[in-house]
Amino acid sequence: MDIDFLMPYLVHLVVLYVSVGVIYLVYKYKSRAVTPNVPPGRKGLPYLGETLDYVLASRRGTPEKFVTDRTTKYSPDVFRTSLLGEDMAIFCGAAGNKFLFSGQNKYVTSWWPHSIKKALMDPSSVDNSSKEESTKLRAYLPPFLKPESLQHYIPVMDIMAKEHLDQHWSRYNQVQVFPLSKKYTFSLACRLFMSVHDPEEIEKFAKPFALATAGLISVPIDLPGTTFNRAVKAGKVIRQELLALITKKKNQLLEKGLTVASDLVDSMLMDGMTEIEIGNKIVGFFIASHDTTSTAITFIVSYLTDYPDIYNRVLEEQMDILRSKGPGEPLRWKDIQKMKYTWCVACEAMRLAPPANGAFREAITDFTYAGYTIPKGWKAFWTVHSTNKNPNYFPDPEKFDPSRFEGNGPAPYTFVPFGGGPRMCPGKEYARLEILTFIHNLVTRFKWEKLNPNEKISYIPSPIPEEGLPIKLQAA
């Protein structure tokens, strides 16, 4: 068959094929040339990423394994993953902590995952810039969370600790430490932040808040029956209750013409913030001051049970303070300053059972770290699980040893339960005073023993004793 007439078409086809091949090769070459050298790692499943892996490791009580497995496989400095639907770089070790803390607003800015915003914050305000939110938040610290102001709240904390122990501990032979510590810290926050004293009104916030925080670090699937769905529903209830309370306080301020704030909500109202903005801030303060502090108290009680010699030394320190007080005289700032060893015990408890896992950031520009490029828009995460049990920083890391925190304490950026840099937790001093005041009252009134020494611990997202840490009480 004569195919000469097809030759021009075949030539054109070959030329076209070769051209397409050349274009493809050039594209691949250029793509490789411009693709940044991102940290090694894997993205996991579509949408879910490695969120399920992280959640499962946490539920098993070993969140640090998620980190150590990947630092061993990919890089000890930084690795790539995908959590909560976002490309994410996990910064590890003291150097990683230092870089993120010192790079605030230069390389990174604060960031909340969409799932957390959806669960706890008002939908109309979730797009506010984190940098702007952070600046606003700190504008309200001077009257409340600065150490010089918190000194005046120590007697209130002391009185509330005594009332709590009278009502919920002294009447019983057995108690569950974790739910009771949550009740105490939540009641204290309600009183100091919102002037809420009524137990029934406190309970209106406490129940949905527990559901909401349980879904903070969960697979973000908003379907009926999921942890995340329950968190979203609970968040709506919290916002409704807060809005009603804030509106009521606003009307009271206007009616009475008050010019002096009695609590955090009053202060923000007087400074012209909207009810929605105030609600978001209060939620943030509750997360920082309630869940994490109650977890710390629970594990201090647990470790004091396990180590009688350490318990006796704490008791001696606290009894010396008690003997220096007059009848009915509340704790003062000078007393808190004497609780040095007790705070070492608290720090060691927070090292082994960290109340908070870390915090998120967002890259605001391309930057390089440890030889890898972090693209603008990527999310970053620093985590205590890369340092707290790292034998390079803490020899014999599983041993409970409060002496690690005596003298100069651990090396910088190795123990960061409250973060660091410009974004250090504003409630650090509040938490310290709350913890020490409670432990003082507890050890000077009671002795205790665990009912289940082998109780399992899971992280949801903070460490939680699965049975609530049941103990048997007796008078000291």
Binding-site annotation, residues: 425
Is residue 310 a contact partner of residue 300, using CB atoms and an 8 Å limit? no
- Omega of the bond leading into 179 within 30 degrees of 0 (cis): no
Q: Residue positions in the annotated binding site for heme?
A: 425
Question: Helix (H, G, I), strand (E, B), or coil: what is residue 250?
Answer: helix
Alpha helices in 271-324 (DSSP H): 275-286, 292-306, 308-323
User: In terms of Cα–Cα distance, which of 169, 435, 387, 421 is closest to 289?
Assistant: 435
Region of residue 41 (phi > 0: left; psi between -120 and 50: alpha; otherwise: beta):
left
User: Look-up: residue for tokens 């693709």?
Assistant: 35
Start-to-end CA distance of the chain, whole Å, equals 109
The kind and range of the H/E element at 288 are none
Question: Helix (H, G, I), strand (E, B), or coil: what is residue 476?
Answer: coil
Helix axes 177-194, 199-214, angle to 10 degrees: 110
What is the rounded CA–CA span in Å between residue 51 and residue 57?
A: 10
Token duo for residue 342: 């007790």
Helix axes 340-352, 292-306, angle to 10 degrees: 100
In eight-state DSSP terms, residue 146 is S
User: In terms of Cα–Cα distance, which of 195, 199, 140 is closest to 167?
Assistant: 199
10 Å CB burial of residue 124 (0-12, 13-18, 19+) is: exposed
Dihedral sign computed on CA atoms, order 112, 299, 313, 409: negative
User: In terms of Cα–Cα distance, which of 205, 209, 197, 193 is closest to 145?
Assistant: 193
User: In terms of Cα–Cα distance, which of 116, 106, 135, 129 is closest to 374?
Assistant: 106
Pairing verdict, β 108-110 and 358-363 = antiparallel
- Count CB neighbours of 7 within 10 A: 9
Question: Helix (H, G, I), strand (E, B), or coil: what is residue 367?
Answer: strand
